[in-house]
Every structure is written in structure tokens, then in C-alpha cells.
Amino acid sequence: MDFALNKDQKELQTAFGKVCAADIAPGAAAADAAASLQIDNLKKIARAGYFATAVPEEFGGKGEELVTLFALTESLAAACPGTAMAASTSAWLCNTAILKYGSESLKKSLLPALAAGEKLGAFALAEPGAGSDINAMAATAVKDGDSWKLDGVKGLCWNAAAADVIIVIAKTGDGADAQPALSAFAVEKGCGYTVGEQAKTLGLRAAPAANIDLSGCAVPAANLLGAEGAGWDIAMDLLDYGRLQMAALAVGVSTACFMAAKEHAEARMAFGKPIGVFQEVAFKAADIYIAADVPRLLANQACWRKQQGENCAHLIASAKLLASQKVVEAAHKCLQVFGGKGYTADAPAERLYRDARFFEIGNGTTEIMRQVICKDLLGADF
């Protein structure tokens, strides 16, 4: 097993990290305050090759492995978590869905523009009445000649308004064991869906999210991903990628917490000394460092196993669970290091504290992660 970054991957990470630190991080607080998608940021990271990272060269990408995409996503999240949330949804979920399940002609028509960052992707699985319980899904797709007619409402969805391609999972019939038969679609802009109001979220505000009303939406038959009825397996596979994405974002935010806490601990004076010399403060910085470093190791291993085609849902769930719990602890400690200033918008700690909380929820909650781990390790009857 070798999931260490090689020389080329490290160079890519360093170059991309410089772009993030110089061109993205300085605007993170303003992006949060604006609560809008930062198109300029997306253009900058597109130029730096972010969206192309894991797309094969034949479709205009760089053909890199998941560990590289993880490393770059981390760097972006350390700079601006909201921008990273929006961009990584496109790169980890939309790109992967089309690459793994799209027809050759769909790949040729969509992937080059997604890899170039000219198109943005989204992923709509959850619904207002079906988040953890995917089988409660109500959205439907019915075949009608050469197209599929979609109906129902998809719940909060990152990039809903800005997306050019939304990966939608919908019910296409009754399956076995009271499970609905699901199918996956690449729904392109202009197919007739409508997007609701932008949600007022606690954090990650530079990544707008909204509901999607699918009534009146018709998708060409060629935009079906995989076989009709294969949507459950596709959704589970994509959730693996989405959970690795969450882990990468969480590790990046923990890194941002470490950098912010370290800088403040070195600069802030109390009792005639920088507060970092007080062991209580220094130990917090050490804990915040570990909050990024240990989940990164686990997640890199999970990326590597997923890349090999292994069934490793429990390992991925473990990495997502650990990274998301650790980033919440890291953000809590970071805010504490800042003292009163940490409770205000004058310091990054307050924003990171709000951003961190999503990772315990998105793409499967902490509770569902534990269930995935138990089912994989203890058997289906658990």
C-alpha cells in the first residue's frame, strides 16, 4: 500500500497551495460576508487546474489520482472553505458521476467543459423528506419516448442555482424488499427545473445551497447514468466520493484553524509573554494540528483503496467521521485561543467555527457513518 504523494503530486500541491494562499485566502472573510458564489475564485482555481485534477487526459483532464484531488481540495478549504465546498462538489461528485456512469458521448460533451471549470456541477440526492433515509425518496422519473420526465423536490443542494449539470437520483419504479428502484441522471441547465431561494446557512456561505423543484423537468434519454434501476448502487458509490470530499474539506478547515491559532498565539501578549508560551495554549495548538494530520492519513488510505476499486465504505466512513469530529474540536479550540476576539467576526476563528459544523452532517451524518461502519464490519443484519 503506497498512498504517499510522489514528486509530481507534491509539486502540484505546492503550486496549487500557493495560488490558494495568495489569491483565494485573502478574500475568505469577504466571501463569507457576501454569502454568494465567488465566480472569480472559481476562475482562478480553474486556471490552476483544480477541476481537471482527476479527469482523464482524453477528456481534457490531468488524470491524477484521488489522493492528489484530496490534497488540492484540502489546500483550497484551508484558504476559503465556502469556495472549496462549491468547487469540490463539482470535482468530486459531478465529474465522477459522469466519468464512471455516463455514455461515451455524454463524457465527450460534458467532461472537457467541467474539467476546464467552464461548467459547474452539483449533486442532488437528498430531499426535504429523505436525507439519511434515502428509500423515503419521493422524486420520480418516468420514461416518455426519448426523454425522462422528472418530478418532485430535491432538498438543499450546493450549487443548485449556478450548476450547469446536476446529478439527480430519482425513483423509477418499485424495487425488491420495499426499496424503490432508483436511477441517476445528468440534468443539464435549461431542462425545466426551478431553483428555490438560497438557504441562510450557518457557515460555508460562499457556497449557496437551495432546493430544486423538478416538476416540468424533461431530460434526454441519453442523460441516464448507468442502467435504469442502478441508481441505488450509483448513489452509494458517489457517496463514497462525497464522504472523501467532506474529509478533505474538514482536514483543510482544521489546517486553517491551526494556522490561525498559531499566528495568534505567537502575536498576542498576556502577562508580558506571547500566549503561545503558556502550556494550555500550546497544547491546544498541538491538538488542532493532530485534528488535521491524523484524519488526513486515514483519508489518504481510503482514497487509495477507493482508487484501487476496493469496497471500503467503512474505511471511508471512518475517515469522514474522524475528520468531521476533529474539525469541530479544532475550530472550538481555535476560537478559545483567540479569546474574546474569537467570538467576533474580526477573527477567522468565528467563521471557521461556523464552517466546521457542516461536515458532521453533509453526505451522511455522524450517526449514519457509524451505521455504515457497523454494517460493513458486523454484517447486514446489524
Ligand X SMILES: Cc1cc2nc3c(=O)[nH]c(=O)nc-3n(C[C@H](O)[C@H](O)[C@H](O)COP(=O)(O)OP(=O)(O)OC[C@H]3O[C@@H](n4cnc5c(N)ncnc54)[C@H](O)[C@@H]3O)c2cc1C
Judged by the rule CB under 6 A, the positions of this chain that interact with ligand X are: 122-126, 131-133, 155-158, 199, 201, 209, 361-365, 367-368
Q: Give 14 or 132: the residue with its C-beta nearer to ligand X.
A: 132
| Burial 308-317, CB ≥16 within 10 A → b, else e | eeeebbbbbb
Q: Give 184 or 312: the residue with its C-beta nearer to ligand X.
A: 184
Q: Are 170 and 137 in contact (CB under 8 A)?
A: yes
Calpha distance 324→215 (Å, rounded): 35
Q: Give 268 or 357: the residue with its C-beta nearer to ligand X.
A: 357
Nearest-10 Cα torsion for 50, 56, 61, 67: 20
Minimum gap (Å) between residue 360 Cβ and ligand X: 9
Q: Give 98 or 126: the residue with its C-beta nearer to ligand X.
A: 126
Calpha distance 306→225 (Å, rounded): 20
Strands (DSSP E) along 106-256, which ranges? 121-124, 140-144, 147-151, 153-158, 165-174, 180-188, 194-195, 209-213, 217-220, 224-225
Calpha distance 307→325 (Å, rounded): 25
Calpha distance 356→201 (Å, rounded): 12
Minimum gap (Å) between residue 33 Cβ and ligand X: 18
DSSP bridge pairs for 169: 184
Minimum gap (Å) between residue 138 Cβ and ligand X: 13
Minimum gap (Å) between residue 257 Cβ and ligand X: 20
Give the residue nearest to ligand X (CB): 131
CA distances from 131 to 60, 135, 263, 316, 364 (A): 34, 9, 39, 19, 8
Minimum gap (Å) between residue 358 Cβ and ligand X: 6
Q: Give 45 or 124: the residue with its C-beta nearer to ligand X.
A: 124
Minimum gap (Å) between residue 150 Cβ and ligand X: 15
Minimum gap (Å) between residue 96 Cβ and ligand X: 14
Q: Give 67 or 85: the residue with its C-beta nearer to ligand X.
A: 85
Q: Give 103 or 194: the residue with its C-beta nearer to ligand X.
A: 194
Minimum gap (Å) between residue 317 Cβ and ligand X: 13
Q: Give 243 or 333: the residue with its C-beta nearer to ligand X.
A: 243
CA distances from 90 to 244, 282, 338, 367 (A): 14, 38, 34, 26
**232 — alpha (psi -120 to 50), left (phi > 0) or beta?**
alpha
